[in-house]
Structure 1
Amino acid sequence: MKIHPQAKATDKPTQTARRGLVNGALLLSLAALIAKVLSAVYRIPLQNLVGNTGFYVYQQVYPLYGIAMTFALSGLPVFISKLIAEVTDPWRQRLVARRIFVILAGFGLCLFIGLFVGSHGIAAAMGDTGLTPLIQVVAGMALFLPFLAVGRGLAQGQFNMRPTAISQVLEQVVRVMVIIVVAWLAAHQHWNVYRMGAWAMSGALFGAVAALIVFGQTYRSLFRPLPATKPVATNDHWRTLMGRLWQEGGTICLFAAVVILLQLVDSFTVKRGLVASGLTDPAAKSLKGVYDRAQPLIQLGLVVATSFSATLLPALSVAWRQQRQQAIQMTLTMLIHISLALSAAATIGLVVLMPLINLVLFGSETGSLALAIYCLSIIFASLISTYNSILQSMNQYRLSLIALTAGLIVKGCFNYWAVYVWGINGASWLTVISLAAMMLILWLGSPTSMRTALTHGSFVRKLVGTVGTMGGLAGLASWLFQLWLPLTRGSAILMVAICVVIGMSVFVGLALWGQLFSMREWLTLPGGRRLLKLTKRN
């Protein structure tokens, strides 16, 4: 969730308004957290019910839906809310929202026609024409895009976060319920995997309809007749709005979907590369399904890494608006430190315990190395998200677009070759390298305050020591347990649970002992105040 400053930098919100802004941001962050967890967790029972090949069918087309969902859920609403917040006149707010709706409706219709008509060609480019009906179902999401994006953006721009929060959670709950029911029916009725995939994808349409119900009153108000006598400001002209939508809105949307865009490249290259390397078509589909197991793990890792740091963004926006340099630097440092520390801890934990986690969640240890490599991307993806959020709060978009383009070029140009040579391990490495390239460009091109925040004091050195010790002890505990217990799915659950507790305890203990976080940073983290009190007593 990104909170943008209003048009006048000199405006100072009242204490009540500021508190309402922060509470709204927290509500939206909580809703986003719930939606992301639901979006990640349902894939585990889905894979268990439909198997690797069924999971492959779903995941091949999922990036197309994921991009549309990201645009409608977090990308475009953020941009539209910024446009609305820049305008104080309710009449102008409605005018801007209506014009953006018309522009997006035209875009959504063109996108629907392109995806629906071109579905066979897209499926062929993915190496599997059986995916055609799934792509046609996903195309329907384009028609809901303007309704969901403008409804959420208008509410957020008026600092009413409740409709967006409710619609986010409702949409995901309905979608996940449909997918799980479809997967259960497919497993028990022995459906064809492509039939299962098409019906599972229809959950997105049911979810979108449920979310639209929340905005019924919003649209009744939006399309009331406007006074014809009022002049239209220059900033509200069609050409101006379309230009800003393309430049600012496009950058926000693309960066919100950065991981999904890399997954889209995988959809067009991994299965084809595996077949070219000598695998049979069924074997390549199954192995691609194994590779796709990384997606829920990455999502859960990113939720852990970014959810807490997101609560600091409203404070950063207020400090930036009031040009309080000391507060800006302090908040920047906290944002980056928390994001890096939590993502590093989540990454090392997943890498060390990956064979056990793979067995617990998916029933086999197949592809554990590829999944462990892929999990390294959590560190870079969380930092990219944090840096991009900060740059957007400063109204800087060009650097983000350059970084994103460079990363996609690296992934797009070399992924097929990497899969051909190294299999799914190569695809995992290309994802990590692409994100690392994006992060390097963002870091080199960002303001000095953002670069120094990452390397402030001895933070990185302390973090390496903390997560290294944590990973080493958790890995040692895992190895010892496997010496004593026969490795089954049941025993693996027990091992993972104990190792996670050991890892978390070591991380927190060393972070407190080594003063990894400042006092303010500890107070930002959930339970941080209580931990500080306990250490003072001891």
Structure 2
Amino acid sequence: MGNRNVNTTLQGALILSVAAFIAKLLSAVYRVPFQNIVGNTGFYVYQQVYPLYGIGMTFALSGLPVFISKLIAEAPDLPSQQQVARQVTQWVWGLALVLFGGLMLGASTIARGMGDVQLTPLIQMVSWMFLFMPALSVGRGYHQGRFNMLPTARSQVIEQLVRVIVILVAAGWAVHHGWSVYRMGTWALSGGTVAAVAALLVLPRWRQRDVTTTDRIPHVGRRLLVEGGTLCLLTAMMVLLQLVDSFTVKNGLVAGGMSDLAAKSLKGVYDRAQPLVQLGLVVAVAFATSLLPALAEAQQRDRPQAFKQLTTTMMRIALVIATAATAGLISLMPWINRLLFGNTQGSDMLAVYMLSIILATLIQTYNSVLQSKNNYRLTVVALVTGLIVKAVGNHWAVAHFAGNGASWLTVMSLGVMFVIIWYGSAQEIRSGIWTQSFIRKLIGCTILMVAGVQAVGVGLEHLWPAMLTGRLAAGGALLITIPVGVVIFFSLALSWQLLTVREWLAIPHAKTILRLWQRLSQHGGK
């Protein structure tokens, strides 16, 4: 690959990374005002069906476009590229019609499986967005495969922005007019279809009528099923775990002796974890995978030393950022819960769920390394095994330990996935990434950060008793404790040399922090 193509690829990857970050941020943040508008039961109704939409969004937004772009990029000329796009469109249309028909006709069966037959119209509403999946996934993949990332980036951001607006408007309108939570949920989930239409309107058509070819590209269907399906499954990892929760948490709570209404409300509280985990994942994975284009370039140019160095840097950054975020969220969970959702209900089970940020970040980051080597099978085995652990144990865990049981099963299933991926991958890829010295320093930074944050929190509670009950006061406390935690963690990380200078510089905007630290160190030494 020439320098020009490499530069184009790197620039395109950066554009897509920024767009994906914005889209995921929007997808995480809107849930907080939405829950505040509709309450626990309204949030439960929406979140029960959301994983079905989330799977479709994964197909159309990231999983299939990435695979299709690979097929397009492999084609030698424009006629071949368009022939690939036509063939893939036929296959994806077949998949879309199967999913649409399955959800539309099987909605009542799925709703009964979730323990709430009133969810039927919501599931049917979600099915419509699958009809837009072929045009969106093939259109995005075609432009990406021709190294034109702007159409995909623009359509991703527009899609999420429109969806969030529709959801919040539907929620506000429903509450104002006294709609049932199920009618509200149906209209809120229509945002997926409306957003798909908006995304299509800003996505240029890929067909060019003046270029035709009749030669069919071999094995497209098989590759779509194996490679494309694998990418989609891996991208939808957290959504698939949520889907298991949709079938088991509310039913498990009822089996444990809770009333139907109370079970719906507690499932809504349990689902508060989703925006917090997604936000933690977005930040941690974004920092870590900022090196992904360079990793791909090292693999393409057959530079094993550079590849190993970048892998080590990515995994270290991923663990550091994810650990700091997880520890901060756990130690501040009661205040975060009160500020965002109005009370501290379920803070314990939410704190346990936050542990999944570390494991999910490591899985997603390391999976990027394996993908760059075209190694998919190991991660699929890990994902399927983890999902089986979650599916088999979740109902029992919830019936005996309520929401805490579901949180621990999520963490356990992610742990199983990571162990399989880590120990099943080649020794030369994973050796030397985390030394004992690195782990000791990271644990020390984390413990002292948590201790410092807790000490400041106890002091604030004595000086400001309203913080125990007031929502705004909790927000004020967080404005003080979060910066304290950040300063403690990164001051210790810098002074103990948790990361090398090269690794620090790989983090976006870290150069400014290093310069500031250097000035402070010089000033302190005088």
Fold-level similarity (TM above 0.5): yes
Map of 1:32-181 to 2, 5 A cutoff? Answer: 32-181=20-169
Structure 2 match to 1:512: 494
Matches of 2:213 and 2:68 in 1, distance apart?
Answer: 22
Matches of 1:458 and 1:163 in 2, distance apart?
Answer: 45
- After TM superposition, give the deviation of residue 17 of structure 1 in Å: 2.6
Map of 1:183-194 to 2, 5 A cutoff? Answer: 183-194=171-182
Structure 1 match to 2:2: 13
Matches of 1:456 and 1:114 in 2, distance apart?
Answer: 49
Matches of 1:43 and 1:530 in 2, distance apart?
Answer: 33
Matches of 2:90 and 2:245 in 1, distance apart?
Answer: 33
Whether the 8 Å contact between 2:338 and 2:474 is mirrored in structure 1 is yes
Matches of 2:94 and 2:192 in 1, distance apart?
Answer: 21
Matches of 2:501 and 2:445 in 1, distance apart?
Answer: 18
CA distances 1:245-301 after superposition (whole Å, capped 9, x unpaired)? 111111110010000000000000000011111111110000000000000000000
The correspondence for 2:512, drawn from 518, 523, 530, is 530
CA distances 1:27-60 after superposition (whole Å, capped 9, x unpaired)? 1111111111110111001100000000000000
Counting aligned pairs with the same residue, the percent is 54
CA distances 1:198-246 after superposition (whole Å, capped 9, x unpaired)? 000000111000101122432x43x666134xx44xxx22xx1111111
Secondary structure of 1:423's aligned partner: helix
- Cα 1:101–1:515 change in 2 (3 A) is same
Structure 2 match to 1:412: 391
Whether the 8 Å contact between 1:332 and 1:453 is mirrored in structure 2 is no
The reply on whether 1:311 has 2:290 as its aligned counterpart is yes
User: Structure 2 length as normaliser, TM-score?
Assistant: 0.96
Structure 2 match to 1:4: none
- After TM superposition, give the deviation of residue 322 of structure 1 in Å: 1.3
CA distances 1:395-435 after superposition (whole Å, capped 9, x unpaired)? 01110111001100000000000000000000000000000
Runs ≥4 in structure 1, deviation > 6 angstroms? Answer: none
The correspondence for 1:327, drawn from 306, 319, 332, is 306
Whether the 8 Å contact between 2:285 and 2:361 is mirrored in structure 1 is yes
Structure 2 match to 1:289: 268
- After TM superposition, give the deviation of residue 516 of structure 1 in Å: 1.1
- After TM superposition, give the deviation of residue 343 of structure 1 in Å: 0.6
Structure 2 match to 1:464: 443
- After TM superposition, give the deviation of residue 62 of structure 1 in Å: 0.2
Matches of 2:116 and 2:449 in 1, distance apart?
Answer: 43
- After TM superposition, give the deviation of residue 26 of structure 1 in Å: 1.0
Unaligned runs of 5+ in 2: none
Whether the 8 Å contact between 2:167 and 2:188 is mirrored in structure 1 is yes
- After TM superposition, give the deviation of residue 169 of structure 1 in Å: 0.3
Structure 2 match to 1:383: 362
CA distances 1:94-118 after superposition (whole Å, capped 9, x unpaired)? 1111101110001101110110000
- Please tell me the residue identity of whatever aligns with 2:512: R
Whether the 8 Å contact between 1:305 and 1:342 is mirrored in structure 2 is yes
- After TM superposition, give the deviation of residue 24 of structure 1 in Å: 1.2
The reply on whether 1:258 has 2:237 as its aligned counterpart is yes
Matches of 1:47 and 1:224 in 2, distance apart?
Answer: 51
Matches of 2:41 and 2:261 in 1, distance apart?
Answer: 8
Deviates more, 1:482-491 or 1:67-76: 482-491
- Please tell me the residue identity of whatever aligns with 2:170: V
- Please tell me the residue identity of whatever aligns with 1:444: Y
- After TM superposition, give the deviation of residue 453 of structure 1 in Å: 4.5
The reply on whether 1:365 has 2:351 as its aligned counterpart is no
The correspondence for 2:213, drawn from 200, 208, 227, is 227
Secondary structure of 2:148's aligned partner: coil
Structure 1 match to 2:13: 25
Map of 1:396-407 to 2, 5 A cutoff? Answer: 396-407=375-386
Whether the 8 Å contact between 2:72 and 2:81 is mirrored in structure 1 is yes
Unaligned runs of 5+ in 1: 1-11
Deviates more, 1:447-456 or 1:417-426: 447-456
Matches of 1:227 and 1:255 in 2, distance apart?
Answer: 34
Matches of 2:200 and 2:264 in 1, distance apart?
Answer: 36
- Please tell me the residue identity of whatever aligns with 2:475: I
Matches of 1:478 and 1:255 in 2, distance apart?
Answer: 39
- After TM superposition, give the deviation of residue 19 of structure 1 in Å: 2.1
User: Structure 1 length as normaliser, TM-score?
Assistant: 0.94
Deviates more, 1:477-486 or 1:385-394: 477-486
- Please tell me the residue identity of whatever aligns with 1:97: A
The reply on whether 1:478 has 2:467 as its aligned counterpart is no
- Please tell me the residue identity of whatever aligns with 2:115: G
- Please tell me the residue identity of whatever aligns with 1:226: T
Matches of 1:425 and 1:534 in 2, distance apart?
Answer: 42
- After TM superposition, give the deviation of residue 317 of structure 1 in Å: 0.8
Whether the 8 Å contact between 2:79 and 2:211 is mirrored in structure 1 is no
- Please tell me the residue identity of whatever aligns with 2:497: Q
Cα RMSD (Å) of the superposition? 1.2
Structure 1 match to 2:200: 212
Matches of 1:100 and 1:462 in 2, distance apart?
Answer: 49
- Cα 1:369–1:216 change in 2 (3 A) is same
Deviates more, 1:518-527 or 1:381-390: 518-527
Whether the 8 Å contact between 2:151 and 2:204 is mirrored in structure 1 is no
